A and B are shown apart, each in its own frame.
Chain A
């Protein structure tokens, strides 16, 4: 069976610090206003029985991705290992994939934007005109995952080949690995916890799992 990379996020541990958000911005040089990853803050319940949940979200790298099905150009593709990718050279910026994604994971920026109006040196150095007017989203840091094939390291275990957000998490809430391997770090974690996937009822088969409790007693 081929690999299927997935992310497991332990909602019991996330403290909403947004370090993963910052790590993603740093790793991928996304412009202001574009967040491939972000952490949502949800309060629920009625006083005094209230709760607050921090929910990290990004592209779920769905196994049945509606964004790919609607894409008229084949710019959005799915790799053997489950990663959903966008070819910036083919994309026409029609936004159909944005409408199809139930996870608000994609964005299109038409003009360059800089944190303080005028570009800083670092922003000039990392500016990529290919990303203008095309769809962009979280890539699961695919360059790192591809590096694993060269170095023989294991994504999710070796930081060099693990998504930046997972590496950065201060509370150990985020995990990454091959969900098709029953002995992988994430398969074992899923086996011993209770979890859900976002909007599963829509049939997208997302590759991000959210742990909400320990195993049933």
Chain B
């Protein structure tokens, strides 16, 4: 396709502006909360009483939902969100929420291991709904790839494991999970590479490629290599402070990625001409897709 030399009003992809930091907060807090519920259920086999972490997880999910409530245009009609579970992942996310809170509350109040497991699984499901919510948005090229689902789920699970490791500040026995964190970080790194590769092969708006390229190197080293090494060293050496640092790094970089995905890399599709029309005496010409390229590694 030939290069576009000048474009008119809103031909080019632009960063979406309808979902701002409040929507990003729902993905950040909801994903981390869901991941933490899962991680806490898994860690409960360790024998510690980790119910305060369940409270933190529920607070995170609640904070995310509250943030999104502040974002929607007609908040007093918010219950209409339950009307389309047949096709809408936003409805499905909303439907899981009450069960997630109920099972989490039961786990905290009655210390039922089964409730903790149910909350953990619902946390994972919540995470999956959020990932599919992004994926269903065909208008945002950075979100619509299947690999975005894997990346979002992996990020939430890592955030949960990271927050669990951060709990080593109060439960030193949790340092053992530093190794698990490192393994999950390796999985997230693979998901990240796969995600970038799928965008590279399909092509994305220039702004998307810039935003993700700007994140890439620091995300890999600060978000994966550093916390993985710290997590393993913390586990092997029994060093809770290192486990805390590893966990915080893993969770914070997950939040950074999601913020970038929603508020920096979410460029719209823009417009394209498969053919330019024949006009006057001129023949039809080659097509053009202004504002698009393939992600080039820096």
Q: Do A and B come from one complex?
A: yes
Give the distance in Å from the alpha carbon of A38 to the alpha carbon of B84 in the complex. Answer: 31
Binding site for A on B (CB under 8 A): 2-11, 16, 18-19, 23, 68, 71-75, 77-78, 80-84, 87-91, 94, 133, 136-140, 143, 266, 268-279, 282, 284-286, 288, 290
Q: How many residues of chain A get a CB closer than 8 Å to chain B's CBs?
A: 55
Kindly state whether residue A102 has any CB partner on chain B within 8 Å: yes
**Interface window among A22-30, A118-126, A156-164, A194-202:** A194-202
Chain B: CB-nearest residue to A65: B138
The 4 closest A-B pairs by CB, nearest first: A93-B73, A133-B73, A41-B8, A11-B277
- Determine the chain B residues whose CB is within 8 A of the CB of A34 once the complex forms: none
From A51, A68, A72, contact of B81 by CB (8 A): A72
Provide the A173-217 mask, 1 if CB < 8 A to any CB of B, else 0. Answer: 000000000000000000000101011001010000011111000
From B4, B266, B282, contact of A42 by CB (8 A): B4
| Given A90-B77, A92-B77; A199-B272 close (CB under 8 Å) | yes
Kindly state whether residue A12 has any CB partner on chain B within 8 Å: yes
Q: Could you list 9 further interchain pairs (A-B, Cβ under 8 angstroms) beyond the known A55-B11, A66-B137, A94-B81? A: A12-B279, A41-B7, A41-B9, A72-B90, A74-B84, A91-B74, A95-B71, A108-B18, A202-B138
Contact B9 A38 (CB under 8 A): yes
- Determine the chain B residues whose CB is within 8 A of the CB of A169 once the complex forms: none
Kindly state whether residue A7 has any CB partner on chain B within 8 Å: no
Contact A100 B139 (CB under 8 A): yes
Give, as a whole number of angstroms, the nearest-CB distance from A34 to chain B. 12
| Given A38-B10, A212-B278; A102-B72 close (CB under 8 Å) | no
Kindly state whether residue A71 has any CB partner on chain B within 8 Å: yes
Give, as a whole number of angstroms, the nearest-CB distance from A135 to chain B. 8
Contact A40 B80 (CB under 8 A): no
Give the distance in Å from the alpha carbon of A31 to the alpha carbon of B32 in the complex. Answer: 40
| Given A38-B9, A46-B2, A74-B83; A69-B88 close (CB under 8 Å) | yes
- Determine the chain A residues whose CB is within 8 A of the CB of B4 once the complex forms: 42-44
Contact A90 B139 (CB under 8 A): no
- Determine the chain A residues whose CB is within 8 A of the CB of B9 once the complex forms: 38, 40-41
Kindly state whether residue A170 has any CB partner on chain B within 8 Å: no
Contact B139 A98 (CB under 8 A): yes
Residue contacts A-B, CB under 8 angstroms, 7 given: A38-B9, A44-B288, A45-B285, A101-B138, A102-B268, A194-B284, A213-B284
- Determine the chain B residues whose CB is within 8 A of the CB of A108 once the complex forms: 18, 73
- Determine the chain A residues whose CB is within 8 A of the CB of B137 once the complex forms: 66, 70, 96, 99-100
Give, as a whole number of angstroms, the nearest-CB distance from A43 to chain B. 4
Residues from 30 to 84 in A contacting B, C-beta threshold 8 Å = 38, 40-46, 49-51, 53, 55, 57, 66, 68-75
Give, as a whole number of angstroms, the nearest-CB distance from A75 to chain B. 8
Kindly state whether residue A86 has any CB partner on chain B within 8 Å: no
Kindly state whether residue A110 has any CB partner on chain B within 8 Å: yes
Kindly state whether residue A134 has any CB partner on chain B within 8 Å: yes
Contact A99 B140 (CB under 8 A): yes
| Given A44-B276, A70-B136, A204-B138; A198-B6 close (CB under 8 Å) | no
- Determine the chain A residues whose CB is within 8 A of the CB of B271 once the complex forms: 40, 42, 55, 57, 103-104, 198
Give, as a whole number of angstroms, the nearest-CB distance from B275 to chain A. 4
| Given A46-B3, A90-B77, A94-B81; A102-B138 close (CB under 8 Å) | yes
Give the distance in Å from the alpha carbon of A139 to the alpha carbon of B159 in the complex. Answer: 43
Give, as a whole number of angstroms, the nearest-CB distance from A91 to chain B. 7
- Determine the chain A residues whose CB is within 8 A of the CB of B87 once the complex forms: 68-70
- Determine the chain A residues whose CB is within 8 A of the CB of B277 once the complex forms: 11-12, 53, 210-213
Contact B275 A196 (CB under 8 A): yes
Contact B77 A44 (CB under 8 A): no
From B88, B268, B269, contact of A96 by CB (8 A): B88
Contact B88 A99 (CB under 8 A): no
Chain A: CB-nearest residue to B81: A72
- Determine the chain B residues whose CB is within 8 A of the CB of A43 once the complex forms: 4-7
- Determine the chain A residues whose CB is within 8 A of the CB of B288 once the complex forms: 42, 44-45
Give the distance in Å from the alpha carbon of A57 to the alpha carbon of B273 in the complex. Answer: 12
Give the distance in Å from the alpha carbon of A21 to the alpha carbon of B75 in the complex. Answer: 32
- Determine the chain B residues whose CB is within 8 A of the CB of A134 once the complex forms: 73-74
Chain A: CB-nearest residue to B80: A73
Contact A44 B2 (CB under 8 A): yes
- Determine the chain A residues whose CB is within 8 A of the CB of B5 once the complex forms: 43-46, 50
Give the distance in Å from the alpha carbon of A212 to the alpha carbon of B275 in the complex. Answer: 7
From A40, A133, A199, A212, contact of B269 by CB (8 A): A199
